[in-house]
Structure 1
Amino acid sequence: MARGCSLNQDLKLLVNNPKYSDIEILCKDEKKLYGCRAILAARSEVLDGLLYNGMKETYETQISFPTINSSGMEIILEYVYTGSVREESLTKDNTVEAFYAADYFQLPELQDFIMKVLKCTLETNYLENYSPELLTKVSEKMPLTEDNILLNLLVEAVAIIPLNDIEFGRLSITGLKYLLSITHEKEIPFATREYEVFRYSAILAAKQVSNNTYRILMERLPILEQIDNSITTVGNKIITDREKVAKELEPLVKFIDFRKIKVQILADFIEPLEIISDKIISNVYRFVALLNNLDLCDIRGKLTGYVWDETACGSKLVIEDNGKTIHALNSCGYQNVRAKIALENKGYQSTGWVLSSNGYCYNSNTRLSYCPSFGSGTKITVHLDMNKRTCAFTVNGTKYPEVLAWNNLPSKLYPIVSLCYPSRFRIQLHQKN
């Protein structure tokens, strides 16, 4: 395009172009960028104060920003010169740096744009979610305050991912600490049961100590599913560096609610490690004794994980909307998809307990007329009482009684739907009025 046809295109020619610049910008990573002093000052009050303050910066040809990386500064220059930023300019590697720089230079509209792009990216790329890495970067780059909108967005995004699905190394101790501190004793959707929170924290702490200690903790702390199904053998290797592990784990311990971990697991797997203080352990035993053997819910906040599991999904079903929506492709016959988290944590059902769109309830070979048939747009609420092992449904606003034939449900249930083209199904937590 010839010059003079588009102001935006013409101004892009000035971005980081030494030919048209009169000041060098030295960044934290020692990379040198180039800018026009007058344009920078006109677009940011912070830059105006730095470049035209009557002091030495006014006359020098170089300005240094020791806390801003060049990847973030390049986004600032693109925005300052053209008034916009291309979505593709924001990547996994520069989003946090760009947000930090926009905050530093007091460019709220750029911050809003970065938040909008990031939120859209996290929702549409559920299978390639890089929120743990971003949470790590933010927690190490910016103040850990509850009014930090970027941190809060990333906490929400990471909280709905089971920690077992996050490879060690993607989330730092600092990032995990912020995740646990914000969700501790809060009604925030969370996907990880408290034992798994401890397990992930302890293994991550061990990884900071040594590879050998990391391997021992991996061996001695099985995942909850292995414990529930008695398919694990507890390792007995001694943790020689347990004091170091306990020290690394210390910032996280106060944000782990050990009362939510079943006392048998506490006794068999956690106490023998000797990385949690005797006081914490004894307080849990005392609490459970005073509770008169009643079990607490073993997950913090609102039970979540109500996203569809791509590993238990028919080949012609597509998961989207950050895992919440499933739809059937053209030519798809009936196929099933399972939600990512169970509604309890012991045992497995051998058959299904099903409410069909024809209004019948099914279990094995039993069929029971329950409600009128329903179709597209139907809203269904499942009322599960896992203490009494009973189930009831609300269909399009009408609540029906408990399914009398289902009076002893198993202690572990997965939400599952079966659908065919052109069906679309969205799963979400019930919100109380």
Structure 2
Amino acid sequence: MIRGYSLEQDLRLLINNPKYSDIEILCEDEKKLHGCRAILAARSEVFDRLLYNGMKESYDNQISFPKINSAGMEIILEYIYTGSIKEESLTKDNAIEAFYAADYFQLSDLQDFITKTVKNTNLVKNYSPELLSKITEKTPLAEDNIFLNLLVETVAIMSLNNIEFGRLSITGLKCLLSITHEKEMHFVTPEYEVFRYSAILAAKQVSNDAYKTLKKLLPTLEQVENSIKVGNKFITDRQKVAKELEPLVKFIDFRRIKSQILADFIEPLEIVSNEIIFNFYRYVALSNNLNLTCGSKLIIENNGKIVHAPNGCDHQNVRAKIVLESNDIFEWDVIIEKVSGCAWVGVCASENLNYETFAGIQPTGWVLGSNGYCNNFSKAVKYCLPFGDGTIITVHLDMNKRTCTFTINGTKYPEVSAWNNLPSKLYPVVSLNYPGRFRIQPHQKN
């Protein structure tokens, strides 16, 4: 090759070349690479601080990076020397190492390149479970990291049943579940299949016997629907499996699993806490018993699920009879089939609630109006844009924190800051006047 024709090609001759190097770079896997102090320092402030700080490293001919693998360091050297990376240099085996090394050396452009390359090649398509597993086994990244979210979003739209056990680690699965749960990201796998995959993967960490047993005892949804029964439900090392599963269970919404499946296949395994099982049955019982009580002029129809205000009816309240208490999270939907002058949705306490008067002017009523304002005791706080006929509102009541949040037509808003210390016992409530018509039902998740 003729030198002097291409600066990039000439500089490539220097990469990991002991002939032109004056320092050894010792990596995590004890492999030694070679570099030039001046070039490293000129291209990276981190290298500059390490190599020209007047301390021991300034005079030694070796520097160590015990947390950076040589595969990642080779990508760093290629980028530092040439200012670019050949796309084929990145593989499923070094992409994560390279990304973390780029983060360590504060090379944000290189991080962007790695993210784009993984996204635009077959790496994310073919190896996203493995890459997600690797990225979670390193130092945790912030949940808003673009590369991490790319991998999470990709795996989230893959059916877990199509990911062979061993491709996605238990730390990778925990990361996947926690981020999709927190951000309410689209997740294609049904909740029972999420539990099944989590339980079998947890068993795999314990023993091969536990893994094989759970694969037999937990059929797929398709097998459940075809009435395939399982045999003896005794699991070797049951308590150990439960302990491995515990960090994953908190991200699984058992309310999205059919009660018959939970009773027939999950509960008998005894790997999910009694508290979670009890809360599920309690939720089902409450969901099937909304039973409404209301003002004197309001009309309740359809077995207590629909309420409407006849002509001449001023604002009156409808309250569900179920009490919402304990350290739990409650959700229900209110569909505004016909809005009144202003429709109101929220919670109330039973003490001194006047059914004949708008809940938002009462001290025991906390409601969101179709005008976009939250009201309590006549104190109004702007919360969202106005909404009208056909609006679907989901109320999220967190009795752990005593706070309330609303989702309106699929958009979830933050907690109502003015309602930061709600009472320990609450009830669903709506306020409406003529010609208002509301449908109240348990939350219907996608």
TM-score (norm 1): 0.66
- Out of 249, 260, 265, which is 2:261 matched to? 265
**Distance in 2, Cα, partners of 1:293 & 1:170:** 44
**Distance in 2, Cα, partners of 1:67 & 1:167:** 29
1:289: Cα distance to partner? Answer: 1.1
TM-score (norm 2): 0.64
1:150: Cα distance to partner? Answer: 1.6
- Out of 218, 235, 238, which is 2:234 matched to? 238
Over 3 Å off, 4+ runs: none
**Distance in 1, Cα, partners of 2:101 & 2:250:** 32
**Distance in 2, Cα, partners of 1:63 & 1:293:** 68
**Distance in 2, Cα, partners of 1:102 & 1:212:** 41
Aligned residues: CA RMSD: 1.4
**Distance in 1, Cα, partners of 2:200 & 2:117:** 33
Structure 1 counterpart of 2:340 = none
- Tell me: CA distance 1:188–1:110, structure 2 relative to 1, closer, same or farther (3 Å): same
Q: Give the residue type in structure 2 aligned to 1:218.
A: K
1:187: Cα distance to partner? Answer: 3.2
**Distance in 2, Cα, partners of 1:233 & 1:264:** 13
Structure 2 counterpart of 1:28 = 28
**Distance in 2, Cα, partners of 1:238 & 1:269:** 12
SS at match of 2:121: helix
Cα contact 1:220–1:234 (8 A) shared by 2:
yes
Ranges in structure 1 where 5+ consecutive residues have no aligned partner: 295-433
- Tell me: CA distance 1:13–1:187, structure 2 relative to 1, closer, same or farther (3 Å): same
Tell me the matched-pair count.
290
Q: Give the residue type in structure 1 aligned to 2:272.
A: I
Structure 2 counterpart of 1:288 = 284
Structure 2 counterpart of 1:168 = 165
> Does the alignment pair 1:200 with 2:197?
yes
- Tell me: CA distance 1:191–1:80, structure 2 relative to 1, closer, same or farther (3 Å): same
Which residues in structure 2 correspond to 1:296-311 (within 5 Å)? Answer: none
> Does the alignment pair 1:101 with 2:97?
no
> Does the alignment pair 1:226 with 2:231?
no
1:149: Cα distance to partner? Answer: 1.9
Structure 1 counterpart of 2:208 = 211
Ranges in structure 2 where 5+ consecutive residues have no aligned partner: 291-446
**Amino-acid identity (%):** 77
Cα contact 1:140–1:174 (8 A) shared by 2:
yes
Structure 1 counterpart of 2:90 = 90
1:59: Cα distance to partner? Answer: 0.4
Which residues in structure 2 correspond to 1:403-422 (within 5 Å)? Answer: none
Cα contact 2:209–2:236 (8 A) shared by 1:
no
Structure 1 counterpart of 2:361 = none
1:144: Cα distance to partner? Answer: 4.2
Cα contact 1:122–1:157 (8 A) shared by 2:
no
Structure 2 counterpart of 1:325 = none
Cα contact 1:122–1:131 (8 A) shared by 2:
no
> Does the alignment pair 1:130 with 2:101?
no
Deviations 1:197-239 (A, max 9, x none): 0000000000011111111100000000111122x22121411
Q: Give the residue type in structure 2 aligned to 1:242.
A: R
Which residues in structure 2 correspond to 1:116-155 (within 5 Å)? Answer: 116-122=116-122, 126=125, 129-155=126-152
Cα contact 1:22–1:34 (8 A) shared by 2:
yes
